[in-house]
Copies of this chain bind each other. A is one copy, B any other.
Amino acid sequence: MHNASEMKSPSVSATAVTIELNAVLVALTANEPQVLTLEDGGLLPSGPFESEHPTLQSGLRAWVEQQTHHPLGYVEQLYTFADRNRAQENGRRIVSISYLGLTRERLSRGVRDPEWRNWYRYFPWEDWRAGPSPLIAKEILPRLRKWSDAAGDPALKRERRQRIDINFGDGKDHWNEELVLQRYELLYELGLVPEASSRAGSVSSPLPGMPMRHDHRRILATGIARLRAKIKYRPVVFELMPDTFTLLQLQRAIEALAGRTLHKQNFRRLIDQQGLVEETGALTSQSAGRPAKLYRFRREVMLERAVGGSKLPLSRPA
């Protein structure tokens, strides 16, 4: 029984840690995905969790809103980890809890430090809107192939080749836009990003793409990956859209996040099948081309659609 009680609650002597909250705050400006950064783009906003906050999320909201003077919309937890490479002055371990936040407005516009940056500056190879990223074929794949060819064991070589294939495809097609994190981790492992420089081999001329301090670029990758996955089964894009918008604007928004172009007609078919939006009655006036209808998000569907498509071949209720 003593064992059990040891398991059930931390002993008083349990290690004390400090909680750090990190935020990947996303907005869309001019059809470009933006993320809020600090210190010349080198850090994600982060702050301590103080015990007066009732929950972690409220703690996060508190300092984000205090810093940005703007309400924060949708928030979801990303991941928690204990950074083994960081400790505090007082020796306490730091545990980082990261969040993804979506917001409609550009916050603190023009201000120098909290600054919005296009997330593709950090991950240039993730933008396929103009076709397969040339960076992959020209810079990345050659180095990855060198790595897989360097494997002695044929089995290991096959494994490495497979891993490259899954993550980066053949440079042309078979691109899975959700693997943002895995791709970053592969590049990190091979020392192809500056953040990896403290480890083993030196960085052999790092790839294009801005680094961040600590593991903030990894956290950003996690956030992008999560968002790219989520837009497929939850109407979260609307958190980033203005109240009314045209279908093309909506399409461009999703394309910006996914880093891929969509088939216009099929996209429209999908949208109205899902009943996600309704016409406002108004039309766009300015700009070239035929005026488009304006739509608004049907907030009701947040309740209607439980989604969660089953890929399981269910049987009849009998």
Report chain B residues within 8 Å CB of A231.
312
B46 A162 Cβ-Cβ under 8 A: no
- Cβ of A309 to closest chain B Cβ, rounded Å: 8
A47 B232 Cβ-Cβ under 8 A: no
Q: In chain B, what residue has the closest Cβ to A306?
A: B166
Report chain B residues within 8 Å CB of A30.
none
- A311 within 8 A of partner (CB): yes
Write out, one digit per residue, whether chain A residues 225-253 have a CB within 8 A of any chain B CB (1) or not (0).
00001011100000000000000000000
Copies of this chain per assembly: 2
The residues in A between 40 and 85 inclusive whose CB is less than 8 angstroms from any CB of B are: 43, 45-51, 53-56, 63, 67, 77, 79-82, 84
Q: What total of chain A residues lie within 8 Å of the partner, measured CB to CB?
A: 90
- A176 within 8 A of partner (CB): yes
B94 A10 Cβ-Cβ under 8 A: yes
Query: Complex: how many Å from CA A16 to CA B79?
Result: 20
The residues in A between 261 and 275 inclusive whose CB is less than 8 angstroms from any CB of B are: 261-264, 266-267, 269-270
From B18, B55, B81, B179, A56 is in contact (CB under 8 Å) with: B81
Report chain B residues within 8 Å CB of A19.
10, 14-15, 17, 95
- Cβ of A122 to closest chain B Cβ, rounded Å: 17
B178 A15 Cβ-Cβ under 8 A: no
Report chain B residues within 8 Å CB of A311.
232-233
Sample 17 A-B pairs with CB under 8 A, ordered by A number. A9-B20, A12-B88, A16-B17, A16-B18, A17-B17, A49-B82, A55-B84, A80-B97, A95-B95, A166-B303, A232-B310, A233-B311, A261-B318, A262-B313, A263-B315, A269-B313, A270-B313
Q: Chain A: residues with CB nearer than 8 A to chain B? A: 1, 3-4, 6-12, 14-20, 38-39, 43, 45-51, 53-56, 63, 67, 77, 79-82, 84, 88-90, 92-95, 97, 113-114, 131-132, 159, 162-163, 166-167, 172-173, 176-179, 229, 231-233, 254, 258, 260-264, 266-267, 269-270, 303-304, 306, 308, 310-318
